[in-house]
Amino acid sequence: RGVTLWRQRLTPVTLEPAGEPECLSRGTELDSFPTAGAGRVAFVRTHPDHNLWASGLDTATGTVRGSLRRLTRGPGVVTQLSVSHDGRTLSRFFARPGAAGIMLRDLGSGSETAFTPEPPLEYGYPAISPSGWQLVYGARLVGPRVMRPIFVASLADGTTRKLGDDLGGR
């Protein structure tokens, strides 16, 4: 039935549920990353088979300029988008049947490169630095205790350093 968002009222003192929960979204899509303020809720609605599209914007008016351009093709999920300050490099996490990882896209040429750290890890949550020269990402190391280290990779020379052993991974 998809992933939907719900609202549950709580009692002020004990924070126990009060009344019935209320469904805020419906459908077979995946509703995630909610935020709320001033009596409104905003969230991202994705379909399990979505792609990334781009459009030019007029910086003075914020209106769309030109037509939509398709940046990715195929089944899967595209999330955790991050763009360098100059707007030339996009990092993103992708998941599709049989594969998941981080892709780097040169927005000028349209070329894409898979980011594959050594050793291979179950990783995600990429964020590219404003300069576009570094990529930070979280990992999940399975063991007696699941660890979530964060790494910083130099995109110029491929070196990677770990910031810490268990930093939440995001």
**119: enclosing H helix or E strand:** none
What average pLDDT does the segment 29-57 reach?
79
Question: How do residues 142-167 score in pLDDT, each as one tens digit?
Answer: 777 777 888 899 999 888 898 888 87
What average pLDDT does the segment 21-47 reach?
80
What pLDDT sits at residue 2? 63
pTM, entire model: 0.62
Question: How do residues 100-117 score in pLDDT, each as one tens digit?
Answer: 788 899 988 989 898 887
